Amino acid sequence: MEQQETSTITLPEKGRVMIYACGGAGVSIGQNCLMKYVGQAADAFANVSMSFIDTSYSNFKSDTPRSSCYVIEGVDGSGGLRAANAPEIQRRTKDILQRLRPLDFNIVLSSGGGGSGSVIAPALTEELLKRKLPTVVLLVGGTDTYQRAENTLKTLKSYEMVARNNDMPVCLYYQENSEVTPIKIVNQNITTVISFLAAVFSRRNRRLDLADITNWLNFPTVTSHGPQLAALDFHTNEINEGVSDIISVLTIAEDESFEALPFKCESHYIGYIEKAPVTMSATLPLHCVIRTNSFKQIAGRLNSMVEELRETRDARVTSAFGIIAGDDIESSGGSSLVL
């Protein structure tokens, strides 16, 4: 009598995620969640690796693994000026990815308001997408100064240019520092989103395979929407009322009791999580929503803010020398000492 096969199915290797933390804000957030998610042992999460890219060592903690860092040589920060090191950053993009190699899934994290990360991140994103690697962008906007607001606007435009020039979608999760959402809250939100993505990319969700995740991100392959800069949102339990312009949805649920959304969309993928951690169970089902048009409103608001700040700056009455009087010049005798 033939012996019955008793072996079990071997699951595919867990998903591997590389996070590229770029610039001061990206490095800071990345270092804070380094121990929390990197090498995550829970089976419900992907294996997460972290890398740090900047134009200066000033943002690194002393215990940051050197093998995970890439600092652009020959410069020492960008001083908030996006154009300051842009040519050198673009020249180094392929070398960065050669040293800090992409994995199955990739997350590019930075602020939009600084001078370094806001250039490094779009440059890396473009190269990753050219290589057809599943990639998500996490961007923190800044509006507290004219320079940060203008930089954030230009960073969003850069990502839209990446989508246009390469005929590929860019899926971007956006958070903005403000009085309502101060830096501490924004950083916590970004850290939570990283855990959501680690669950999505784990390759441990039943009925959700690599092709599903790839097509969810590369939505032009399965929907009528063309390549563009698209917003990535996360909704726990149910999709918030009023969310519109939905392109594609990926849902992580705890069991088959969840079967469908209460509305129709062009593309919807469902995965059932195995052994969800207690901390995550309360957020299920988790809906990962890709939508269009939302950045038009954000860009319009940023543009209005930049114009208002520019008008205020230009209207300010200034004097070349604020406190020097005529007799001071006379008493100095042509020197720089006022006697």
Beta bridge partners of 286: 236, 252
Q: What is the pLDDT of residue 36?
A: 66
Q: What is the pLDDT of residue 33?
A: 81
Mean local confidence (pLDDT), 104-133: 97
| Span of 97-101, 122-126, 253-257, 329-333 with lowest mean pLDDT | 329-333
CATH number of 16-231: 3.40.50.1440
Q: What is the pLDDT of residue 318?
A: 63
Whether the pLDDT of residue 1 is over 60: the answer is: no
Q: What is the pLDDT of residue 21?
A: 97
Mean local confidence (pLDDT), 90-106: 97
Mean local confidence (pLDDT), 103-117: 96
Q: What is the pLDDT of residue 102?
A: 98
Whether the pLDDT of residue 308 is over 70: the answer is: yes
Mean local confidence (pLDDT), 167-196: 94
Is 110 or 2 the better-scoring residue by pLDDT?
110
**For 2-47, what is each residue's pLDDT tens digit?**
555 667 877 778 999 999 999 999 999 998 887 665 555 578 899 9
Instruction: Show the 3-state SS of the chain.
Output: CCCCCCCCCCCCCCCEEEEEEEHHHHHHHHHHCHHHHECCCCCCCCEEEEEEEECCCCCCCCCCCHHHEEECCCCCCCCCCCCCCHHHHHHHHHHHHHHCCCCCEEEEEEECCCCCHHHHHHHHHHHHHHCCCCEEEEEEECCCCHHHHHHHHHHHHHHHHHHHHHCCCEEEEEEECCCCCCHHHHHHHHHHHHHHHHHHCCCCEECCCHHHHHHHHCHHHCCCCCCCEEEEEEEECCCCCCCCCEEEEEEEECCCCCCCCCCCCCEEEEEEECCCCHHHHCCCCEEEEEECCHHHHHHHHHHHHHHHHHHHHHHCCCCCCCCCCHHHHHHHCCCCCCC
Whether the pLDDT of residue 268 is over 90: the answer is: yes
Mean local confidence (pLDDT), 107-116: 96
For the chain, which residues make up each domain, given as ranges? 16-231
Is 42 or 167 the better-scoring residue by pLDDT?
167
Mean local confidence (pLDDT), 294-301: 91
Q: What is the pLDDT of residue 80?
A: 85
Percent of the chain with pLDDT over 90: 66
Percent of the chain with pLDDT over 70: 94
| Span of 18-27, 66-75, 211-220 with lowest mean pLDDT | 66-75
Whether the pLDDT of residue 334 is over 80: the answer is: no
Mean local confidence (pLDDT), 96-112: 98
Mean pLDDT value across the chain: 90
Q: What is the CB-side half-sphere exposure of residue 230 using CA atoms within 13 A?
A: 29
**Residue-level length of the chain:** 339
Confidence of residue 317 (pLDDT cuts 50, 70, 90): low
Q: What is the pLDDT of residue 4?
A: 59
